[in-house]
C-alpha cells in the first residue's frame, strides 16, 4: 500500500470503538492519532487503554491535519451530520453500519463524499466474515449449483437495561431492526449475489415498552426471482424467555447442495450420507473483520478506486430496511424503487 501512513481518528468511544482502535494499529499503513468523546469517563478510559489523546469536540478532531481517516462509531442518527462534516473537512470516512437512518440521509452523505473527493466506506462486516466469504466462493464456483432460496433466523435477548437511551428510540435510529436487520439484509444480498426488488414484512414492538422495534419478520424478493426470509427478535431479558442464537443461522438452498452458516463463525455444507444427507463443516480461517475493512479502505484510497463496500450497496441496505418498515405499516408489499 505504499509508504504513506494514514492517521485515523475515532469519533465516539463506545462499545465498538475498541475494534477500530485495534484495527488502526494492526491494519498496516495506518496509525491511531486522536479520538473524540463527550463523556468524560469514557474518554478517560479510552485514553488510558489506547494511549491516544481524546478531545471533547469532534470538530477539533476534524480540524487536525494528522487525521486522514475518520471512524464514526456513533449513534445512528449522528451518522449523517457528522459524516457530512467529515467529508467537508476532507477526511475519508469509515462509518459503522447502517450508513444512515434513511435513504435521503444516505444520499446526502454520498453527495458530500463525492463533492469533496473522499471515500465513504460503510462497515458492513458480513461481507468480510470468513464463513460468508467462503460460502460465496462455493456459490460462485458452481460446486453447489445455483441459489434457490435462503432463510436467516437470529434470536437474542434485547438487553434493555444495558442499552443507551437512543437505542430505545427509532427516531434516533434505535431498535433491533436497524442494528441487526442491517447485518441480515447485507449478508443475504451478499450471499445470494442479487439486489432486493420487493419486500413484505412485519417490524413490530411486541416484547418491550419502548419506542423502537424488537421483532421482525421479512420476505425478500430478489431480482433473479429467488427469495429469502428473515426472522429476528430481541425477546425479554428474563431467564427462559428464549435461547440466544449469537449470530443467527443462515441456510442457503442451492440446486446441488445446501450451505449453513451458524453464529457468524462456522460454515457447513450438505454431503451425501444417510437418509436426507448430512452436514459437513467447511474449514475457514477467521480474521479480524474491522482490520480487514480498514485495510480495504486504505487500498481504495491509495489505488483511487471505488469503495470495496460500495455506497450503492450500503444505500440499498437502508432502502430495503425502510421498505420493510413501510410494508409493516401498510400491510402491503413494497417494491424497491417503486
Domain of 169, CATH number, reads 3.30.360.10
Mean pLDDT (the chain, rounded): 96
Is there a single domain that holds both residue 89 and residue 180? no
Answer yes or no: are the C-beta atoms of 112 and 209 closer than 8 Å. Answer: no
The reported pTM is 0.95
pLDDT digits (tens, 9 = 90+) for 273-331: 766 789 999 999 999 999 999 999 999 999 999 999 999 999 999 999 999 999 999 99
- pLDDT surpasses 70 at 337: yes
Is there a single domain that holds both residue 267 and residue 209? yes
Q: Which residues neighbour 90 within 8 Å (Cβ) at sequence distance 6 or greater?
A: 116, 117, 118
Confidence of residue 338 (pLDDT cuts 50, 70, 90): low
* CA dist., res. 282 & res. 211, Å (int): 41
* CA dist., res. 331 & res. 326, Å (int): 8
For the chain, what is the domain count? 2
- pLDDT surpasses 70 at 152: yes
> In the prediction, which pLDDT does 274 show?
64
> In the prediction, which pLDDT does 2 show?
56
Of all residues in the chain, the percent with pLDDT exceeding 70 is 99
Is there a single domain that holds both residue 54 and residue 187? no
Choose the weakest-confidence range: 52-56, 204-208, 268-272: 268-272
How many Cβ atoms are within 10 Å of 149's Cβ, its own excluded? 14
- pLDDT surpasses 70 at 1: no
Is there a single domain that holds both residue 196 and residue 250? yes
| CATH number of the domain where residue 30 is located | 3.40.50.720
Choose the weakest-confidence range: 36-40, 80-84, 233-237, 276-280: 276-280
Whose CA is closest to 93, among 67, 115, 73, 118?
Answer: 118
Residue 158 counted as domain residue? yes
- pLDDT surpasses 70 at 173: yes
Range of the domain at 189: 127-286
Is there a single domain that holds both residue 107 and residue 236? no
> In the prediction, which pLDDT does 276 show?
72
> In the prediction, which pLDDT does 131 show?
98
Answer yes or no: are the C-beta atoms of 220 and 265 closer than 8 Å. Answer: no
Residue 338 counted as domain residue? no
Residue 93 counted as domain residue? yes
Rg (CA), the chain: 20
Residue 262 counted as domain residue? yes
Is there a single domain that holds both residue 99 and residue 170? no
Is there a single domain that holds both residue 294 and residue 271? no
* CA dist., res. 297 & res. 293, Å (int): 6
Is there a single domain that holds both residue 146 and residue 22? no
Confidence of residue 3 (pLDDT cuts 50, 70, 90): confident
* CA dist., res. 291 & res. 24, Å (int): 7
Question: Buried b vs exposed e over 85-118: b needs ≥16 C-beta within 10 Å?
Answer: bbbebebbbbbbbbbbbbbebbebbbebbeebeb
Is there a single domain that holds both residue 279 and residue 135? yes
Is there a single domain that holds both residue 293 and residue 282? no
Amino acid at each position: 500500500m505504499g509508504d504513506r501512513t494514514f492517521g485515523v481518528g475515532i469519533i465516539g468511544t463506545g462499545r465498538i470503538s475498541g475494534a477500530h482502535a485495534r484495527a488502526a494499529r494492526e491494519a498496516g499503513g495506518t496509525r491511531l492519532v486522536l479520538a473524540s468523546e463527550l463523556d468524560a469517563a469514557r474518554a478517560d478510559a479510552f485514553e488510558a487503554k489506547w494511549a491516544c489523546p481524546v478531545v471533547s469536540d469532534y470538530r477539533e478532531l476534524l480540524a487536525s491535519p494528522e487525521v486522514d481517516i475518520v471512524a464514526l462509531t456513533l449513534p445512528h442518527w449522528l451518522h449523517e451530520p457528522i459524516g457530512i462534516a467529515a467529508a467537508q473537512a476532507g477526511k475519508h470516512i469509515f462509518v459503522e453500519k447502517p450508513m444512515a437512518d434513511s435513504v435521503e440521509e444516505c444520499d446526502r452523505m454520498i453527495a458530500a463524499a463525492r463533492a469533496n473527493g473522499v471515500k465513504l466506506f460503510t462497515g458492513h462486516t458480513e461481507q468480510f466474515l470468513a464463513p460468508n466469504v467462503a460460502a460465496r466462493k462455493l456459490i460462485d464456483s458452481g460446486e453447489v449449483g445455483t441459489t434457490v432460496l435462503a432463510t436467516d433466523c437470529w434470536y437474542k435477548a434485547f438487553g434493555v437495561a444495558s442499552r443507551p437511551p437512543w437505542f430505545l428510540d427509532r427516531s434516533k435510529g434505535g431498535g433491533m431492526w436497524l442494528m441487526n436487520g442491517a447485518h441480515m439484509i447485507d449478508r443475504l444480498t451478499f450471499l445470494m449475489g442479487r439486489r432486493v426488488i420487493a419486500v413484505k414484512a412485519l417490524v413490530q414492538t411486541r416484547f418491550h415498552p419502548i419506542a423502537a422495534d424488537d421483532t421482525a419478520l421479512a420476505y425478500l424478493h430478489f431480482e433473479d426471482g429467488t427469495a429469502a426470509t428473515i426472522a429476528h427478535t430481541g425477546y425479554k431479558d428474563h431467564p427462559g424467555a428464549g435461547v440466544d442464537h449469537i449470530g443467527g443461522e443462515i441456510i442457503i438452498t442451492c440446486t446441488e447442495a445446501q450451505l449453513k452458516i451458524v453464529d457468524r463463525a462456522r460454515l457447513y455444507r450438505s454431503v451425501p450420507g444417510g437418509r436426507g444427507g448430512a452436514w459437513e463443516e467447511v474449514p475457514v480461517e477467521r480474521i479480524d473483520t474491522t482490520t480487514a475493512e480498514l485495510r480495504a479502505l486504505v487500498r481504495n484510497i491509495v489505488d483511487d478506486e471505488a469503495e470495496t463496500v460500495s455506497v450503492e450497496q450500503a444505500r440499498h441496505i437502508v432502502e430495503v430496511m425502510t421498505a420493510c418498515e413501510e410494508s409493516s405499516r401498510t400491510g402491503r408489499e413494497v417494491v424497491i424503487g417503486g
